[in-house]
Amino acid sequence: MHPRQAPARVALVTGGSGGIGRAVVERLARDGIAVAVHYAGNKARADETVAAVTEAGGRAVAVGGDVADERAMSEAFDAVEREFGGIDVVVNTAGIMLLSPIATLDLDDLDRMHRTNIRGTFVVSQQAARRLRPGGALVNFSTSVTRLRFPSYGAYAASKAAVEGMTLVLARELRGRDITVNAVAPGPTATPLFLDGKDQAAIDGLAKAAPLERLGTPEDIAETVAFLAGPARWINGQVLFTNGGVA
């Protein structure tokens, strides 16, 4: 398919069909950015997100694939370029969080997080490094747990510390390309991924931890992403801890 009138700016959001990813998609679309909504397995939810953007007057398309599969991601990037003519912003929200004390962690869970959080981020970052147009932005996702050091988050924090490392190196490797590379590190945020398995007392305690005395929202995180994706051209090679002051 040849692109119709090409939009001024195009974004691909991995994990864009739910939670923080969907908030990012909708926020970028409000800035006039055409958005590719990536999904791993739930096409119906991605289609719902595309429909919501379209109904609000934006442009969006759904693209699928395993973020850790380099061929699938190459095809996803190809599909976005065919639809919209190029890619300016890549936001990597796709990730999984499996919690356990390190001493008792099922190593299969460690491997699952490594595949999605580390290899998946690396594969998508590699494609972004090859394809982003000048003036582009790559936004990866870490976590404030790399500072908060909550018990049972050891393997997850390790996977996200790896994301921070690759992000900061890539920012320097893209010297001269006019492409920014940053990571966003949310704190406790009211998403199903974070709230699952926590009782109300635990949720209330986490909400009080930040000086602003509430949990973050997906929209809070999306606002930071929109800043990095658009006007924040002098922020590069950084990890932004978007957590209300909890860490």
List the beta strands (DSSP E) in 18-174.
34-39, 60-64, 89-92, 137-141
Q: Is the CB of residue 125 less than 8 Å from the CB of residue 168?
A: no
- 156 carries an active-site annotation: yes
Supply 235's token pair.
């922020």
Answer yes or no: is pLDDT of 196 > 60. yes
CA 200-95-87 angle, to 5 degrees, is 130
pLDDT in tens, 81-101: 999 999 999 999 999 999 999
Which phi and psi angles does 160 have, rounded to 5°? Answer: -80, -30
Supply 159's token pair.
């996977």
Over pLDDT 70: what percentage of the chain?
Answer: 98
User: What is the per-residue pLDDT for 157?
Assistant: 97
Rg from Cα positions in the chain: 17
CA 144-148-153 angle, to 5 degrees, is 85
pLDDT category, 1, cuts 50, 70, 90? Answer: very low
CATH code for the structural domain at 10-238? 3.40.50.720
Q: Which of 39, 84, 156, 227 is catalytic?
A: 156
The rounded mean pLDDT for the chain is: 95
Q: Is the pTM of this model over 0.85?
A: yes
User: What is the per-residue pLDDT for 7?
Assistant: 79
CA 28-30-36 angle, to 5 degrees, is 45
